[in-house]
Amino acid sequence: MNSSPSTATMPDACSALSYPALIRLISEIDDNGPIPLRRLAGTLADLSEYRLRRATDLARDLGLVHVQPGGRLELTTSGSELADLYDATARWARRHAYPSTTSDFTHRIQSTLALLAAAPALTEERGLCDPTADSQLTADAHADLTGARDLLDQWLAANQAVQLGASQSAE
């Protein structure tokens, strides 16, 4: 039987995973490899010390990163899989100009996760969202969104700690 995450915990988990500094941290490490802790502020220089610390603490609390011997911040398997989820949601958003054609990577991920959190489970038979979901989306966009929702459901099912800890970790 398919164990999908509870719809009650989905918004909390998506909210935690949508934190912009977390998206940047996970994506940076995924794209460029482990970051020495002493270079973290320089690598993500546009983030305040508070946001960087909060993102790092959140990533550690959710089991997305760990510190290697030598003081380098590295993705865990969960973190690497989250980076893949971020990439897939950003690709979907770019393909369907969601929320707009000029949105950046982080905003695309945030908007798509918010859409997935707000929409009831997608129906497998038709591949469509609930009709109350975002009406600006075409039928093709709704059908493609099923794939992103499946990835999110699989990731959350494999990472139960995120569902349990997200409401405590998120602002």
pLDDT single digits (tens) 47-64: 999 999 999 999 999 999
8 pLDDT above the threshold of 60:
no
Compute the distance between CA of residue 149 and CA of residue 122 in angstroms, rounded to an integer: 8
Q: Which residue has the higher pLDDT, 159 or 127?
A: 159
Amino acid at 93: A
- Concatenating the DSSP letter of every residue in 50-67 gives HHHHHHHHHHHHTTSEEE
The helix-helix angle for 139-158 and 10-17 (nearest 10°) equals 90
Compute the distance between CA of residue 84 and CA of residue 87 in angstroms, rounded to an integer: 5
Q: Which of 103, 84, 79 lies closest to 93, judged by CA?
A: 103
- DSSP assignment, residue 5? P
Q: pTM for this one? A: 0.84
* pLDDT value of position 144: 86
Position 128 confidence tier, pLDDT thresholds 50, 70, 90 = very low
Per domain, the residue ranges of the chain are 14-78, 79-158
Chain-centroid distance, C-alpha 39:
24
The architecture (CATH level 2) of 14-78 comes to Orthogonal Bundle (1.10)
* pLDDT value of position 21: 97
What residues does 66 pair with on adjacent strands? 74
Tens of pLDDT along 68-126? Answer: 999 999 999 999 999 999 999 999 999 999 999 999 999 999 999 999 988 755 544 44
